[in-house]
Amino acid sequence: MTEVGAPPPGAERVFGDRTALAAAYAELLATAGVERGLIGPRETARLWDRHLLNSAVLAEAVPEGSHVVDVGSGAGLPGIPLAIARPDLRVTLLEPLERRTVFLTEVCADLGLDTVSVVRGRAEDHAHEMADVVTSRAVAPLPRLLTWSLPLARVGGQVLALKGSRASEEVRAVPRAAWGRSGAAEPEVLEVGAGVVDPPTTLVRVVRLRAARVRLSGRSSA
């Protein structure tokens, strides 16, 4: 695999006997993903650490047998690495742009990911999904992201947003009273993937406590 190199040592810890499947996905990102403008050409050298493993370690925070909806899936991150690492999960990749959904559909067919489905649309139009876990990566600032993501989660379900070093700052920017009004618990900032990715992946976890109108960003989504 000349484009992205051999899987790093941490890959087998995360993907186990499905590491070759993860490597095939990395190759698709480095070729068709770059050609279609879904991955920058400079990203190919760091696909494993920055993208695949950074996404797949999210598995540490996902309960067994969950239905996961990945919002704004783009090139399939974090949904596809998560599905490869955790074949017990049912994963829905939710993406509004047709060219991306075409790519995602082709990738799932090529890799034989029969636990993954691709849906074209916006999160606002799919609030009936009632997922156990709603994931996202680099989609939007936290308040706006939650107006889209929380309505997709069932009561007792959770939103897991992959964030960078400013995660705590984004959480503090939301007034505490807004969490109660949104029907969500106050968020937790977690790190996953210690010993696999450096630095570890930072997550914001928000649990939906009740069905309620969401107004965190000044917009609403029922």
Model pLDDT, residue 212: 63
Residue 216 pLDDT greater than 60, yes or no: yes
Give me the chain's average pLDDT, please.
Answer: 89
pLDDT digits (tens, 9 = 90+) for 75-118: 999 999 999 999 999 999 999 999 999 999 999 999 999 999 99
Q: State the Cα–Cα distance between residues 129 and 163, nearest whole angstrom.
A: 23
Query: Are residues 104 and 111 in contact, defined by beta-carbon separation less than 8 angstroms?
Result: no
The number of helices, as runs of H, and strands, as runs of E, in the chain is 9, 7
Q: What is the pTM of this model?
A: 0.91
Query: Averaged over 40-45, what is the pLDDT?
Result: 88
CATH 3.40.50.1220 fits 9-207, yes or no: no
Residue 218 pLDDT greater than 60, yes or no: no
Residue 166 pLDDT greater than 60, yes or no: yes
What is the largest distance, in Å, between two alpha-carbon atoms of the chain? 52
Query: Averaged over 138-143, what is the pLDDT?
Result: 79
User: Using CA of residue 67, residue 220, residue 94, residue 139, what is the dihedral sign?
Assistant: negative
Query: Are residues 182 and 153 in contact, defined by beta-carbon separation less than 8 angstroms?
Result: no
Residue 221 three-state SS: strand
Q: State the Cα–Cα distance between residues 32 and 100, nearest whole angstrom.
A: 11
Model pLDDT, residue 67: 97
pLDDT digits (tens, 9 = 90+) for 185-210: 989 999 999 999 999 999 999 999 88
Lowest mean pLDDT among 13-17, 84-88, 129-133, 212-216: 212-216
Q: Where are the domains of the chain?
A: 9-207
Model pLDDT, residue 183: 84
- Name every residue whose Cβ is closer than 8 Å to that of residue 159 and which is 6 or more positions away in sequence: 133, 134, 135, 136, 145, 146, 149, 150, 153, 184, 204, 205, 206, 207, 208
Nearest of 79, 110, 73 to residue 95 by alpha carbon? 73
Nearest of 99, 45, 72 to residue 162 by alpha carbon? 72
